[in-house]
Amino acid sequence: MTNWKAGDALRRIELPLTLRRAVQAVAGTRDYYPVHHDEEAASASGARTIFFNTMFLQAFAGRAANEWFGNDAFLRRLDVAMRAPNYIGQTLAAEGTVVEVRESDGVKLVDVDCTMSTKDGPTTGVKFTVELAPDNRGQVST
Amino acid sequence: MPVLTDAHKSVIGRELGPRPTPYPVNVAMARFWCEMVEDENPIYFDEAYARSTWLHGTFAPPPMLVAWRLYPVWPEVKRESPLDWLELPDCPATIAVNAVQEYFMPVRYGDTLTFTSQVVGLSEEKTTWLGTGHFVSIMDTFHNQHGQAIGTHTFNLFVYKPAPREEGK
A55 and B41 within 8 Å at the Cβ level: the answer is no
Rounded alpha-carbon distances, angstroms, from residue B13 to B8, B65, B153: 11, 21, 15
Instruction: Tell me, yes or no, if B105 comes closer than 8 A to chain A by beta carbon.
Output: yes
**B168 occurs within a structural domain:** no
A142 and B55 within 8 Å at the Cβ level: the answer is yes
A77 and B100 within 8 Å at the Cβ level: the answer is yes
Q: B-chain residues within 8 Å CB-CB of A15?
A: 37-38
Asked whether the predicted pLDDT for residue B141 surpasses 60, the reply is yes
Tell me what the pLDDT averaged over chain B comes to: 93
Q: Which of A80, A137, A140 sits opposite B99 (nearest CB)?
A: A80
**B1 occurs within a structural domain:** no
pLDDT in tens, B90-101: 888 888 999 999
Give every CB contact of residue A127 below 8 A, 6+ residues apart in sequence: A77, A78, A79, A99, A111, A112, A113, A114
Distance, CA of B89 to CA of B7 (rounded, Å): 14
**Percent of chain B residues topping a pLDDT of 70:** 96
Q: How many CB atoms lie within 10 A of CB A35?
A: 21
**B167 occurs within a structural domain:** no
Tell me what the pLDDT averaged over chain A comes to: 93
**B87 occurs within a structural domain:** yes
B98 and A80 within 8 Å at the Cβ level: the answer is yes
Q: What is the pTM of this model?
A: 0.94
- When divided into structural domains, chain B yields a total of 1
**B158 occurs within a structural domain:** yes
Mutate to test the interface with A, among B58, B101, B102 (most CBs of A within 10 A): B101
Which residues does chain A have with pLDDT short of 70? 1, 136-142
Asked whether the predicted pLDDT for residue B40 surpasses 70, the reply is yes
Instruction: Tell me, yes or no, if B17 comes closer than 8 A to chain A by beta carbon.
Output: no
B36 and A21 within 8 Å at the Cβ level: the answer is yes
Query: In chain B, whose CA is at the least distance from the CA of A132?
Result: B54
Report the pLDDT value the prediction gives residue A4, as an integer from 0 to 100: 94
- Structural contact between residues A78 and A58, judged by C-beta atoms closer than 8 angstroms: yes
Q: In Å, how far is B157's CA from the nearest CA of chain A?
A: 10
Give ipTM to 2 decimals.
Answer: 0.94
**B12 occurs within a structural domain:** yes
B102 and A77 within 8 Å at the Cβ level: the answer is yes
Those residues of chain A whose CB sits closer than 8 Å to some CB in chain B are 15, 21, 24-25, 27-32, 46, 54-56, 58-63, 66, 71-72, 74-82, 125, 133-134, 137, 140-142
Q: B-chain residues within 8 Å CB-CB of A138?
A: none
CA angle, B159 as apex, A82 and B154 as ends, to 5°?
Answer: 55
Of A15-19, B5-9, B41-45, B124-128, minimum mean pLDDT range: B5-9
CA angle, B114 as apex, B111 and B120 as ends, to 5°?
Answer: 135
Range of the structural domain that residue B157 is part of: 6-162
Q: B-chain residues within 8 Å CB-CB of A36?
A: none
Rounded alpha-carbon distances, angstroms, from residue A132 to A61, A77, A107, A111, B141: 16, 13, 8, 11, 24
**B35 occurs within a structural domain:** yes
**B104 occurs within a structural domain:** yes
- Structural contact between residues A76 and A130, judged by C-beta atoms closer than 8 angstroms: yes
Give every CB contact of residue A28 below 8 A, 6+ residues apart in sequence: A55, A56, A59, B29, B32, B33, B35, B36, B37, B67
Give every CB contact of residue B83 below 8 A, 6+ residues apart in sequence: B94, B136, B138, B157, B159
Residue B15 maps to which CATH number? 3.10.129.10
pLDDT in tens, A34-60: 999 999 999 988 899 999 999 999 999
Query: In chain A, whose CA is at the least distance from the CA of B152?
Result: A77
Peptide bond between residue B18 and the one before it cis (omega within 30 degrees of 0): yes
Distance, CA of A63 to CA of A101 (rounded, Å): 20
Tell which residue, A115, A124, A55, has the closest CA to residue A85. A124
Domains of chain A: 9-17+52-139 (3.10.129.10)
Asked whether the predicted pLDDT for residue B168 surpasses 60, the reply is no
